[in-house]
A and B are shown apart, each in its own frame.
Chain A
Amino acid sequence: MTDGQLILIIDDEPQIRRLLLLTLEGSGLKVTQASTGEEGTIRVRTDNPDLVILDLGLPDMDGIEVLKEIRRTSRLPVIILSVRSSESDIITALDLGADDYLTKPFRTGELLARVRACLRKQQAVEDQEPVSFGTLTIDLAARTVEKKGVPVKLTAIEYSLLALFVRNAGRVLTHKFILEAVWGMAYNEETQYTRVHVGHLRKKIEDDPANPTLIQTESGIGYRFTKL
C-alpha cells in the first residue's frame, strides 16, 4: 500500500542520503533528495513528495525553520532526523507538527517502520472499523473497548486518551499534544496528568501493566501507541 510513494530526503550528509536511498528504494519507495534546507523547501513544492525525512542539522538553515516553512502550506508527513541528547529540539519539532522522529544512529528497520506508520496514518485517519491490537479491540464508532472479549470499563478521560492513541497508532505523541487534545489548551504544562492517567489506562488494557507493550514511553518526549 505504500508502493510507489515518493519520499523527500533533506540531509547534507551524502552517506546518510545514500543509506536512506538504498533502504527506501529497497522497500519499493521512490526517493528524491535535497542537501540544503533551501533546496528542500523548493523540492517540497516542485516534487510533491508523500513524506519528508528532515535532518535538523543543516548547513544553511535550521531544520526547524524548514519544518515551519513546510507546515505553513501543507500537512505533509515529516519525520525528523536528529542526534541523541537534543530532546528539546525533537519536542519542539513534534509540537510544530512533525509526525515522528529518529535519532542517529538508527537502525534501518526502525526507519522503515516509522515511514510506513506515517504513510498508513494518512489513510487510516477516519477508519470506522473496530481495530485490534493483540487481545485489545477498540470500536471507535461504538465507543467500546474489549480486552480478551471482556468489555473494559474506562473513564471518560481514559477513553479520550485511548482514542487519541489509537487514531495516532505508531506515532509518537508529545505530552503537550496529548494534554491539549484531551484536557485542552490550558493544561498543556501539567505532565503529571498524562503520567497518572496513562498509568491507569495501562492497568486496564495491558496484558502485563508492569511491562507495557501497547503504550510505550518515549524517553523525555511522550508516548507511542503499540510496538512498531
Chain B
Amino acid sequence: MTDPQDSRPDPDALLRLLKRKQERDEEAKLKIFFGMCAGVGKTYAMLQSAHEEKRKGLDIAVGYVETHGRVETEALVQGLEIIPRRKIEYRGTSLEEMDLDAILARRPALVLVDELAHTNAPGSRHPKRYQDVAELLENGISVFTTLNVQHLESRADTVAQIAGAQVRETIPDSVFSLAHEIELIDLPPDELLRRLADGKVYAPERSERARQHFFRKGNLTALREMALRLTAERVDHQLREYMRGERIAGPWKSGQRLIVAISPSPHSATVIRWARRTSYTLGATWAAVYVESLQTLSAAARKQLADNIRLARELGADVITTADARVDRGLLRIARQENGTHILVGKSAQRTPFWRKSPFDRLIEDSGGMDIYIVAGEEEQQRAPLRLFRRFSSWQHYAVAAVVVSLIAALCFPIRNIVGYQTVSLLLLLTVTLLALRLSSGPILLAAALSAAVWDYFFIPPIFTMSVGLGVDTLMLASYFIIAIVTGVLSARSRTNESALHLREERATALFNLTRELSQANTVDGVVRAAVASLKRFFDADVVAFLSSADGDLTNTPHPESTFAVDEKEFAVAAWSYWNEKKAGRFTDTLPGARGVYYPLSGPRYSLGVIGVRLSGDGPLALDQETLLQNFLDQIASALERESLSDISAKAMVVAESERLYKTLFDSVSHEIRTPLAAIAGSAESIMNEDLAGDQEVRRQLARDILTATDRLNRLVGNLLDMTRLESGLIRPRLDWCDVRDLLNACVRKVNPDPSRHPVEIEMQGDLPLVRLDYGLIEQAITNILYNAVLYSPSGARISLQALVDRESLVISIADHGPGVPAGMEERIFEKFYRVPGTPAGGTGLGLSIVRGFVQAHKGTVTARNRREGGAEFTIRLPLETAPPSV
C-alpha cells in the first residue's frame, strides 16, 4: 500500500527503492507504532505484534528496544532474539547503540527498532536512527518502530508552541510517509497521567518532573489531537488517492503545483513547513526555489540555507536553485517553468523605500494567474531582514567612496576660480559615475550625498556655507543630486547583472570544458584522468576515485590517477556511498568523521564507482558549488558509463564473434564433410547391390558420383588446411621467379572447367616480366576465385583472366558474368565463414578468406566489385618487389 503522493518527497529515494524492490522477491515493510507521547504503550504494542508475527513463523530479531525498566515490557522482550548492541566510547562514557552492521549481517526478515527519532552517538555511521532504518529497509529487512507525534519535522514548531520546549530530535516527514502501515497507539490523557503516577512510565522522581512540565493535561490533549489528526489526514489522503485510482507512482493529476521561495533565514523553515502542509491538503506537488542573487553569504547564512534546503527536500519538495539579480523575477521564471499554480513567500521585515516597489508588489503584479501567499514569520526573525532584499557592502567601500570624493574636491578647490564652480560639479558627477562602476549602491549613495554637500559647502558661492544663493544653483544642486544617484544606482545594478551573467558563464564554461575533455577521453582511464584534473582545477580539491569491478563490486584500490591516499576506514565510507548510492563522509549525514566527501557515480544504467573529494577549505561547498560539483559528477558518470560500456561491448563482441565462428565452423564443416561422405557411402553401397550393379551405366554413374564427392571433400580439406596454416601464422611465402602465363594456365587446368559451358579467356600484357612470388599460394588464391566464378556463372558465360603490370604491382583480375556480389558485401565476402545468403549448398565460406590471407602474405591486396556490364570482378594486386632478373 505504498502511497504515491507520500513517496513523493524524495523522488530519488523512491526510484532507488523501486529499483531495489524489483531486485527483491518481497519488499521490506516499515510499520510505525505511532503515539502522542512517551508512555502510551507503543513499545509494548510493537512487542506484542512481533510475537504474533513470530508465531506465524517470521524470522524476527530485536535490534534495539528500550524498556525503560517497565516490567510488562521487559517480559515481552523475553523469547525474542536480541542482537547485541554496539558500545561506543564517547568522551569517557560508554554509550550503547543499535548495531546496524550486525543486523545487516544477521539479515532477519523483521527487526524491531525502538524510538525512530533517536539521535545516534557521534561516530556512528548515521547521525540519526531513522537513517539506519532507511538502510535496513533498502537492504530488504522489514522494520517495526515507534514514534511520537512531536518528533515529526512538520509538527515540531507547533509542538514547541504547545509545550513551550524546542523539540531537538526530529525526523523528516518523508520517513513517516515511507511507512507501509501506521498503527496509532492511543491512550486518553487521564489514563496516561494515571500510568505516570503509578510509575509505569518513568522512575518516580523523573515522573514528577515530567508531570510538571511536559505531561500537563492540556499539553497531552493537544498532542493527542495532533496525533489523531495526522493519522486521520493520512487515512483520508490514502482514501482519496484510492478513489482517484492513482495507486501508481507518477505525475500528480491534481494539476496544482505549489512553489515556495526559500532563503538563508531561519524564518524560512517555518514557511517551508507551511508549504508542506498546504500542498498536502491541496493534494498539490510542491517545489522549493532558491534564487541566488549575488551577495556573498556569511558562513552562518550558508549553513542556514543548506539546512533549509535539506528540510525542504526531507519534507518532499523538489528543490530548484536558480540565479537572478532580482529575486522576484527569478522566482516567477521558475514558477512558470514548473507550471506553478501557487507561490508561497515568507513575509519580509525589510521596509521598502516609498519610491520603490517592494518585491512583493512586483511579484503580485507579474504573477498572472498564480495565487500568491505571503506567510508571516516568527517575531524574532523579523528583526533580521531577509537576505533577499538586503544590500550590503563592506565598510571599506564606504570609506573608498568618501575618500575619493574628498580627494577630488580637495584637488578642485585651489582651481575653482579658474574652471568655475559649475565645472567642479561635473567633475564630481564624473567621479560618482566612475565609482559606480566598482561599488554597490550603498557607497554610491554616500558618494552622491557627500559630493552634493561638498559642492554646496566649498564651491557654490558663498562658499563655506550650506546656503545656495542663486535659484539656478538650487536647481543645479537638486538635479546634480538626482543624476548622481540615478547614474550610480543604475550602473551598480547593471554591474550586478553583469557579474551574475559572468558567474553563470564561468560555470557554464567549466562544465563545457569538462564535457569536452570527457568526450575526448576514449578509455576509462582517460575519463578518470580528465575527471580528477578538472575537479582539482575547479574545486581546488584532492580527488580519489574507486571504480566498480567487473562483478559489480567496488575495487578497493584507488584508481592510479587519484591524488590522495586513503586508508581502510576511508574506503569503508566510499563503499557505503557506493552501495547506498548516496553521498557520505565529511559534511554529510553519513560517517561525517571521514576526511573526504564521497559521491557515488551513478550512470544512467550502472553504478560506476565512487569519487572522493577532499576540499582544501574548512567548510562544505557553497550551494552553487555543490550543484556544479553534482553536474560535474553526472557528466563524469555518464562518460565513464559510455567508456566502460564500450569496453564491455568490445569484449562481448570478441567473445560473441569467436563463438559465432566456432559455431559456423562446426555447422558448415560438419555439413560439408557429411554430405559428400553420405554420397560416397550411398553410391558404394549401391554398387555392391547385385540388382543395380548389373547395369553398367548405373554403375558408372554411381562411380562418377563418388568421384565428385571426393573432389569436393578434397577441396574442403585443402581449404581447411590452408586456413589452419594461415591461422597458425605459418604462412611464409617461398618466393621464386615465376612466369605469370604459366601460373594462370596452371590455375585453369586445376579448376578444369568444361570449355563448352565455362569458356575461360586469358588475356596478358605482352611483355609481362617474371615475377617473384610463392607459386603454390598464388595459384591456390586464383584457383579459389576461379572456382567460384565457374560455380556462380551461368552456362556459356565467359570468364576472363587478365594479368598486367600497373606501376609497381602485378594486377591479376578474374571477371565473370555471374550474379555479382550483393551490394555492400564487397568486403564481407572475404570474412571467414561468411557466405552470401541464398547461395547454393556446398562451400564453407573459407575460400575467399584464404585468398585474402595468401595475398596478404605477399603484402598484396584483393578486392571485389561488380562490373557495370554484369558479374563480379576480383582483383589481386601484388607488389613487384624487385626488378626482373637479367638472364
Contacts and interface: CB of A to CB of B under 8 A. Distances in A.
Interface string B700-741: 000000000010001000100110010000000010111101
Contacts of A177: none
A196 B770 contact: yes
Contact of B887 (A88, A193, A211, A212): A193
Nearest to B707: A107
A85 B719 CA distance: 11
A149 interface: no
B762 interface: yes
Contact of B714 (A105, A193, A211): A105
B776 A220 contact: yes
B746 A210 contact: no
A172 B675 CA distance: 35
B690 interface: no
A192 B739 CA distance: 9
A160 interface: no
B772 to A, nearest CB: 9
Given A195-B770, A210-B741, A219 B721 contact: no
Interface string A195-228: 1111100000000001110000101100000000
A144 interface: no
B779 A195 contact: no
A212 B745 contact: yes
Contacts of B718: 84-85
B721 A220 contact: no
B738 A195 contact: yes
A107 to B, nearest CB: 8
A192 B887 contact: yes
A85 B762 contact: no
B770 A219 contact: no
A195 B725 CA distance: 28
Contacts of A219: 746, 750, 775-776, 779
Given A85-B721, A105-B710, A220-B776, A195 B745 contact: no
B885 interface: yes
A191 interface: yes
Q: Which of B718, B764, B885 has the most CB of A within 10 A?
A: B885
B745 A211 contact: yes
Contacts of A217: 739, 742, 745-746
A191 B710 contact: no
A192 B737 contact: yes
A220 B779 CA distance: 9
A197 B734 CA distance: 22
A13 interface: no
Contacts of B742: 195, 199, 217
Contacts of B887: 192-193, 196-197
Nearest to A190: B885
A23 to B, nearest CB: 14
A63 B827 CA distance: 44
Size bracket of the B interface:
20 to 34
Contacts of A220: 736, 775-776, 779
A190 B742 CA distance: 17
A194 to B, nearest CB: 9
Interface string B759-779: 000101000001000011001
Nearest to B741: A210
A87 interface: yes
Contacts of A84: 718, 721
Q: Which of A85, A192, A199, A211 has the most CB of B within 10 A?
A: A192
Nearest to B738: A195
A70 B887 CA distance: 37
B801 to A, nearest CB: 11
A105 B676 CA distance: 15
A209 B813 CA distance: 21
Q: Which of A84, A190, A197 has the most CB of B within 10 A?
A: A84
A195 B737 contact: yes
Contacts of B745: 210-212, 217
Contacts of B736: 191, 220
B721 A195 contact: no
B748 to A, nearest CB: 9
Interface string B528-568: 00000000000000000000000000000000000000000
Contacts of B734: 88
Interface string B50-87: 00000000000000000000000000000000000000
Contacts of A85: 718, 721-722, 725, 776
A84 B745 CA distance: 19
Nearest to B714: A105
A195 B739 contact: yes
A122 B166 CA distance: 126
B737 A191 contact: yes
A219 B718 CA distance: 15
Given A105-B710, A196-B887, A217-B745, A210 B762 contact: yes
A197 to B, nearest CB: 7
A212 B749 CA distance: 11
A192 B718 CA distance: 29
A102 to B, nearest CB: 14
Interface string A95-136: 000000000010000000000000000000000000000000
Interface in A54-97: 84-85, 87-88
Contacts of B710: 105
A206 B721 CA distance: 36
A199 B887 CA distance: 12
A196 B741 CA distance: 11
B837 to A, nearest CB: 31
Contacts of B746: 217, 219
A197 B742 CA distance: 13
A202 to B, nearest CB: 9
A159 B880 CA distance: 31
B714 A192 contact: no
B885 A192 contact: yes
Contacts of A211: 745, 762
A220 B737 CA distance: 10
Nearest to B710: A105
Contacts of B764: 210
A92 B741 CA distance: 26
Contacts of A190: 885
Nearest to B737: A192
Interface in B802-822: none
Contacts of B770: 192, 195-196
Contacts of B737: 191-192, 195
A212 B743 CA distance: 12
Contact of A87 (B738, B739, B750, B776): B776
Nearest to B885: A192
Q: Which of B710, B737, B738, B779 has the most CB of A within 10 A?
A: B737
14 contacts: A84-B718, A84-B721, A105-B710, A191-B736, A193-B887, A195-B739, A196-B739, A196-B770, A196-B887, A212-B745, A217-B742, A217-B745, A219-B746, A219-B779
Given A195-B739, A210-B741, A220-B736, 14 more contacts: A84-B718, A85-B722, A87-B776, A196-B739, A196-B770, A198-B739, A199-B741, A210-B764, A211-B745, A211-B762, A212-B745, A217-B739, A217-B745, A219-B776
Minimum-distance CB pairs A-B, first 8:
A192-B737, A192-B885, A220-B776, A196-B887, A217-B742, A220-B775, A195-B739, A191-B737
Interface of B: 710, 714, 718, 721-722, 725, 734, 736-739, 741-742, 745-746, 750, 762, 764, 770, 775-776, 779, 884-885, 887
Interface of A: 84-85, 87-88, 105, 190-193, 195-199, 210-212, 217, 219-220
